[in-house]
Each structure stands twice: as structure tokens, then as C-alpha cells.
Amino acid sequence: MDEKPKYWVACSGGVDSVVLCHLLHEQGIRFGILHCNFHLREAASNVDEAFVRELAKKLEAPIRVKEFQTEEYAVEHGFNTQLAARELRYNWFDEVIESEAVTILIAQHFDDQMETFF
């Protein structure tokens, strides 16, 4: 894929974002994948990253992975870990949107009330 995508999917490796990637691929919509590795679940965080990288390869989608030191950020800013991860993620997404004039798609399950609100 030579051209930059105009859509990026925020993909955690969870069912909701993986389904969104597959739906876009099946519809022939060009997209890329953004994955955040927050390093919060020891080796499992790296397993998630490897899964998302393999998904991108399978769907022939470009991928960008950003690694964060979330716990350090939380302490520095006086946040709980979840709030720190959310701020880090959305700050990165804002940078991508501003620098590339793209749309970032975020898949959410019904019970994810906080992010659904935002």
C-alpha cells in the first residue's frame, strides 16, 4: 500500500477493534492500524502487540505502534493508571490527526460508557 490511509483504526487487539478492522477490510476501505502498548500487563501487553501486528500483516494494513511508560506517567501527573493510559492514547491520536488530516476510528462495546461519552 503506497498511499497513506485516510482512516486509522485504534486497535487494542480486543474483539471490538478487531471486528472493525475486518469489516473495513471486507468493504475494501483503505485503513491503517494504530496500537498502543501501555506495558501494564507484563508479557501480555507484548502478546497483544504481536497479535495486532499479525492482524495488520494479514489484512495488508499499515501499522504504527506507540509504546508508553504508563505507570511512570500516572505517577508524574497524579493520575490513576486508567486515566493516564487514556490521556496518553488520545494525545497520540490528536498528534496523528493534526499532522496527517486523517480520521481515527475507535470501536467500542456497549458497556464502555466513559469512552463512549467522549
Q: What pLDDT shows up at residue 108? A: 80
**DSSP per-residue letters across 5-26:** PSEEEE--SSHHHHHHHHHHHH
Q: What pLDDT shows up at residue 3? A: 72
Q: What pLDDT shows up at residue 1? A: 44
Whole-model pTM: value is: 0.88
Mean pLDDT by 10 residues, the chain (118 residues): 83 96 98 97 95 98 98 96 96 97 88 56
Q: What pLDDT shows up at residue 114? A: 56
